Amino acid sequence: MRSLILAALLGLTMAFGATAANVFVNDRGEGFPIVSGVPICNGDTIVFDCITQPQPFAAESIFFTFVSSVPTAPGEGGTFYSRLLEGPWETETPPGSLSDIMFFTLTVGSPNIDIRACSDPDTDSLSCAIVEGMIEVNQPAVGSPKIENGDFQLMASYVFVGGPNQGQIIDNFFMASDAPEPASLLIFGSGLIAVGMVARRRRKA
C-alpha cells in the first residue's frame, strides 16, 4: 500500500529519499511554475518516474501528471493538498495567508498522480479551491506550517504504508515560492536589530 503522508511523522531521514524520484516545482518570480527533477514521459523509453508536459491554467498555475512506479492500493485514493504561507516580510498580502498550494489526486489501481500547483493569485479561484473530503498533508498536523522562503520545501512524500517496505519513501514533491527581496530582508533584519537595541537600552536604564 502507498499513500501521501507527512514524512516527518514517520521519523525518517532523507536516506530513504536518496533513491526516490524527486519532483521540484519552482514558483519563484512571476509567471507559471517550472517543473524539474524528472523527465517528460515518453511511451517508448520513459514510462514511470516521469511527468506529462505541464499545462498552464488560470493566471499562474499548472497541471501535470506524475507517473509513479507502483499503483495506488485500495483504500489509498483521494485528493490531498499541501500549502505554503506568506512570510512576515510580505507587504501586499497579510503574513500567514495562503501563498501557494499543491493538490495531489491518487486513483486506486493507477500509478498516475494528478498534480495541480496553484500560485497566488489563483489560490482564490474555484480550480484551486479546497473542498470537503480533501486531506491536508505535511502541515499543520505537526504544528509547523510551511512559510515560503525561496527554498525548495518538502510538500508531500508518496510512501509505502504497509508490507515489508512500510515507511519507505518512493517519491518526493518539493515546491519553492517567492523569497523576500534583498532590500526587504535588510529592512526586516534592521527592524530586529533596532528592537534588540531598544531592549538593551531599557535593561541598562
DSSP string for the chain: -EEEE-GGGGT--TTGGGGSEEEEEE--SSSS-EEESSPBPBTTTB-SSEEPPPEEETTTEEEEEEE-SSPBPTT--EEEEEEEE--TT-SSS-TTSEEEEEEEEE-BT--EEEEEEEETTGGGSGGG---TT-EE-SSSTTS---B--SS-EEEEEEEE-SSTTTT-EEEEEEEE-----HHHHHHHHHHHHHHHHHHHHHHH-
- Work out the number of other CB atoms within 10 angstroms of the CB of residue 55: 11
Rounded to whole angstroms, how far apart are CA atoms 69 and 156? 17
Predicted pLDDT at 166: 82
Q: Which three cell numbers stand for residue 177?
A: 515560492
pLDDT of 138 reads 65
Give the pLDDT confidence score for residue 67 in this predicted structure: 96
Instruction: Determine contact, residues 148/179, Cβ cutoff 8 Å.
Output: yes
CA distance 110 to 123: 28
Burial of 137 (0-12, 13-18, 19+ CB in 10 A): buried
Please report, as a single letter, which amino acid is at residue 133.
G
**Whole-number pLDDT of residue 150:** 87
Tracing cell 519507505 back to the chain, one arrives at 168
pLDDT for 201: 44
Q: What pLDDT does 4 receive?
A: 55
Domain spans, the chain: 2-179
Global pTM value: 0.77
Tens of each residue's pLDDT in the chain, 205 residues: 455 543 332 223 233 334 789 999 999 878 899 999 999 999 889 999 999 999 999 889 999 999 999 889 888 899 999 999 887 766 667 777 888 999 999 999 999 999 999 988 788 788 899 999 999 886 544 445 688 888 999 999 998 877 788 888 899 999 998 765 555 444 444 444 444 444 444 444 5
What is the structure's pLDDT at 33? 94
Distance CA(205)–CA(202), nearest Å, equals 5
The cell numbers describing 1, all together, are 500500500
Q: What is the pLDDT of residue 37?
A: 97
How would you classify the pairing of strands 2-5 and 153-160? antiparallel
Residue type, 69: S
